Amino acid sequence: MKDWMGKIRTLSLFSLMVLLLSACGRDNLTALVPKGYGAEESLRIIIITITVMIVVFIVVMAIFVFVLLKYRQKKGQENMVPKQTEGNKTLEIVWTVIPILLLIVIAIPTVATTYDLADESAKEDSLNINVTGEQFWWHFEYPGEEIQTSQDLYIPVGQKVYLNMMSTDVIHSFWVPSISGKMDVNPDNENTMYIEAYEEGVYWGQCAEFCGDSHSLMDFRIVVVSQEEYDQWVTDMQNVDPDAVPESTTAQEGKALFEQSCISCHAVGNTPSVGPNLSNFGDRTMIAGVLEHSEEELVEWILNPASKKPGNGMLDAPYLQDKSVSQEDAEKIADYLLQLKASEITPDSAK
Ligand code: HEC
Ligand SMILES: [Cu+2]
């Protein structure tokens, strides 16, 4: 009875989780509806493997039930011992060869796809993006285009895009299940994976390797747009002017405060930075990957980032130690950050 209750509880928790996840717009955080080459190949192998397992299960269960019925103890034959088959060569061969054949059926497509996905022959002629995993956010650098960005990875639809991945701290794992499989992101060596998205849209990703306090909050997105939109986005990003003067006076004051307290880690424009690049922060639909993109959340994030993402790299900021940024300052900075719009091409326009 208790066991039964436990199962119901797990099931309802699970459905609640599914509901919660889909409520956050993460409905495409699934490997079962592929929208990219790697994801499609993975699903094909999943289906082959599950089919083989189901056939094995049915055959074994059928034999099991047959044996139970046929050889059960019958009235009047309590001491009957059926014919023993140990050492039967034919049987031994049959049940050794069948699993080998089944494993071959699974292994051929798996190994072929694994090699195919590791193919780097098109790397030179394709778009290359350097991906850096950090506790607990993603940095994307487009070396050919000289663009830096974070959290949202923009790519053109229908193109092979090579991701060269490294970590600055611990092991992370890059995973956008509807586009491709997982790839470990290591501190010591670069791993390369190519992705190819079939349809425009915004696809959710998650770090899939436990990496610290806020591992479960290390969300990101791939924004897949048409080739023209992608080219437009690149030009727009290249033209971001870090010295542009905001319209409102509060945003102007916010800019000055930002340059005092935040610029040591962040950047606007195409300079490298230890924290996320904020060139197109106003185009984002999330703050720090997981928070609602609103002024209120942003002010809370600035004043108390630990409450939103425990253990994150912003907690070392000097302004948090000496409390030099007031509520009013934070509101001004938020004004400034929210008007940092780089392009018409955004996750909202791509949906
Ligand atoms: C010690 C370096 C450091 C300083 C100083 C710092 N930050 Fe950050 N900031 C970070 C890091 C690291 C992250 C990424 C946190 C995460 O998502 O795990 C971050 C994230 C953010 C984000 C979310 C970015 C995104 O891509 O969604 C915003 C907005 C932000 N910081 C604003 C500020 C503001 C405003 C200040 C100054 C008042 C500031 N930061 C000072 C390191 C810093
Ligand atoms: Cu991680």
How confident is the model over 103-118, as pLDDT tens digits?
999 999 999 999 998 8
In CATH, 249-350 is 3.30.1490.20: no
Q: Quick one: pLDDT at residue 82?
A: 79
Sheet strand arrangement including 219-225: 152-156, 219-225, 201-207, 172-175, 183-185
Report the separation in Å between the CA atom of 321 and the middle of ligand 2, taken as the mean of its atom positions. Answer: 26
Q: What pTM was estimated for this model as a whole?
A: 0.88
The label of the residue with tokens 């030009």 reads: 235
C-alpha span between 86 and 181 (Å, rounded): 45
Which ligand is located closest to the Cα atom of residue 185? 2
Out of 1.20.58.110, 2.40.10.10, 2.60.40.420, 3.20.20.70, the CATH code matching 127-237 is: 2.60.40.420
Say what the alpha-carbon torsion angle 86, 91, 95, 96 is, to the nearest 10 degrees: 80
C-alpha span between 108 and 269 (Å, rounded): 48
**1 pLDDT above the threshold of 60:** no
279 CB less than 6 Å from ligand 1?
no
203 CB less than 6 Å from ligand 1?
no
Angle at 142 between CA 140 and CA 148, to 5 degrees: 55
Percent of the chain with pLDDT strictly greater than 90? 84
C-alpha span between 208 and 302 (Å, rounded): 27
Confidence band of 4 (pLDDT split at 50, 70, 90): low
How far is the first Cα of the chain from the last one, in angstroms, to the nearest whole number? 47
Nearest alpha-carbon partner for 17 in 6, 3, 27, 7: 27
Which ligand is located closest to the Cα atom of residue 280? 1
Q: Residue 248's CB: how many other CB atoms inside 10 A? A: 12
DSSP string, 289-318: TTEE-SHHHHHHHHH-HHHHSTT-GGGG-H
For range 162-181, the mean pLDDT: 96
What are the structure tokens assigned to 97, written together? 């060869």
For range 71-94, the mean pLDDT: 86
Tell me 281's DSSP state: G
Q: Quick one: pLDDT at residue 315?
A: 95
| CA–CA distances in Å: residue 78 to residues 1, 72, 84 | 35, 10, 17
How confident is the model over 207-236, as pLDDT tens digits?
999 999 999 999 999 999 999 999 999 999
Closest C-alpha residue for ligand 1 atom 23: 288
Q: Quick one: pLDDT at residue 23?
A: 44
Quick one: 142 exposed, middle or buried, by C-beta within 10 A (0-12, 13-18, 19+)? buried
Residues near 240 by Cβ (< 8 Å), separated by ≥ 6?
268, 269, 270, 279, 280, 342
Would you report the helix, strand and coil content of the chain in percent, each value rounded to 5? 45, 20, 40
C-alpha span between 246 and 64 (Å, rounded): 75
**24 pLDDT above the threshold of 70:** no
Report the separation in Å between the CA atom of 209 and the middle of ligand 2, taken as the mean of its atom positions. Answer: 6
**188 pLDDT above the threshold of 50:** yes
275 CB less than 6 Å from ligand 1?
yes
Contact, 337 vs 278, CB < 8 A?
Answer: yes
Quick one: 267 exposed, middle or buried, by C-beta within 10 A (0-12, 13-18, 19+)? buried
Report the separation in Å between the CA atom of 276 and the middle of ligand 2, taken as the mean of its atom positions. Answer: 15
Probe ligand 1: pick from 221, 266, 307, 333, max atoms within 8 Å of CB? 266
How confident is the model over 316-347, as pLDDT tens digits?
999 999 999 999 999 999 999 999 999 999 99
